[in-house]
Amino acid sequence: MTILDARTSAAADDTDAAIALVEQYAAHNYSPLPVVAASAEGAWITDADGRRYLDCLAAYSAVNFGHRNPEITATAHAQLDTVTLVSRAFHSDNLGPFCAALARLCDKDMVLPMNSGAEAVESGLKVARKWGADVKGVPEGRANIIVADNNFHGRTISIVSFSSDPTARDGFGPFTPGFRSVPFGDAVALAHAIDDNTVAVLLEPIQGEAGIVVPPDDYLPAVRALCSEHNVLLIADEIQSGLARTGHTFACDRWGVVPDVYLLGKALGGGVVPLSAVVADRHVLGVLHPGEHGSTFGGNPFAAAIGTTVISMLERGEFQARSAELGAHLHRRLRELIGDGVVAVRGFGLWAGVDIEPALGTGKEISLRLADRGVLVKDTHGSTLRFAPPLVISRQEIDWAMGQFATALREAA
Ligand SMILES: Cc1ncc(COP(=O)(O)O)c(C=O)c1O
């Protein structure tokens, strides 16, 4: 049975039964493809009925190193046999090495470990406001933070307060004040928005959920210069773009830009555990004192051990190199389809936003066709598909996926 059949069939196979349970008991805050992962390895997912799929989403870049990467799972297994959680009420022997390694990777002084990406963003906003009050001298309650239109930084109340997506906001007010949104890629608009009470500019260097939108080459350097000139913190949300996804350790590296604060998450947890972090120098993160911020699970020994392994893998540079080399191939193959169902291709490394001709169907419809052909991608914003496979994918697997994509587009025409 194909996936398209399965969606309309009453057959009670394992896939249908699993989906029915989710439909009945899980909140309907997602609209997933009808694929039920039962196991996964490398770049492949096998479903409850034994069908195999090439994963070209990698859990929104949380699985950069591949499903069940053996180096990462070895660390996880070993750590399960020692200590997993003590809270920050005590020390653990893993937290210091993790923070030291991450600080070194980012060339910064200090690390604030958290869990989800949204928590890292929230934490970064709190740190920026506290820095504004304690260091910059912004009067209490007057700080503002500048963000970009069409941003995606997570789902908490404060974060959706500065979202431009009505689905993320409608019905969730009242919202947190203190944010100004300006067009992404427009440094002049950003300059106009800065005033004496601006404490930070928060940006994704490449906007992921917006459709992998790459700014003009002079944008991030100009933002860096403006932030330095006005004593404003530049906070780079590298939660999706960072950790080798673009062919660099950080997407900011592409433009030689060093932010004051990195927000990291997703791949930092090696596809095993939620692990995020705010990384900055002491004159920024040093504004936090005991009791002012925290998390029971943040920096727990299990996550810290995995994070340390992930950082050592990144320090070798091989994933960045793979992403750059195979990404160039992926982008070449995708650009060949322009005019044959593809309108535009954006991004760097193994990260591509692909606009489909709207007449062929919605992004979701094309994703279903692709899933039916054994390739998993995610649609975003109507007619855009996102290709972001685990960085362990091979050239042959990319070629196979591109063949399936070309056929799916032809079938839809
Ligand atoms: C750039 C960016 N920031 C923050 C988040 C939120 O991360 P999480 O879903 O782990 O809260 C995401 C998630 O997609 C993201 O892409």
pLDDT computed for residue 382 by the predictor:
86
- Measure 141 CA to ligand 1 centroid, in angstroms: 27
pLDDT computed for residue 3 by the predictor:
54
pLDDT computed for residue 10 by the predictor:
39
Q: Are 360 and 413 in contact (CB under 8 A)?
A: yes
Q: DSSP for 173-220, please give it.
A: -S----EEEE-TT-HHHHHHH--TTEEEEEE-SSBTTTTSBPPPTTHH
Nearest residue (by CA) to ligand 1, atom 4, is: 153
Q: Is the dihedral of CA 281, 282, 283, 289 positive or negative?
A: positive
> How does DSSP classify residue 358?
G
Pairwise CA distance, residues 407 & 413, whole Å: 10
Among 116, 123, 152, name the best residue to mutate to test ligand 1's pocket (greatest count of ligand atoms within 8 A of Cβ): 152
Residues flanking ligand 1, CB < 6 Å: 60, 116-118, 121, 152-154, 204, 208-209, 237, 239-240, 265
Nearest residue (by CA) to ligand 1, atom 8, is: 117
Question: From first to last of its 413 residues, what are the pLDDT tens digits of the chain?
Answer: 455 454 444 334 789 999 999 999 999 999 999 999 999 999 999 998 999 999 999 999 999 999 999 999 999 999 999 999 999 999 999 999 999 999 999 999 999 999 999 999 999 999 999 999 999 999 999 999 999 999 999 999 999 999 999 999 999 999 999 999 999 999 999 999 999 999 999 999 999 999 999 999 999 999 999 999 999 999 999 999 999 999 999 999 999 999 999 999 999 999 999 999 999 999 999 999 999 999 999 999 999 999 999 999 999 999 999 999 999 999 999 999 999 999 999 999 999 999 999 999 999 999 999 999 999 999 998 899 999 999 999 999 999 999 999 999 999 99
Is 370 in a helix, a strand, or coil?
helix
- Active site amino acids: 152, 237, 266
- Measure 213 CA to ligand 1 centroid, in angstroms: 15
Q: Looking at the whole model, is its pTM more than 0.85?
A: yes
Tell which atom from ligand 1 comes closest to the C-alpha of 151: 1
pLDDT computed for residue 29 by the predictor:
96
Enter the tokens of residue 323.
């992403």
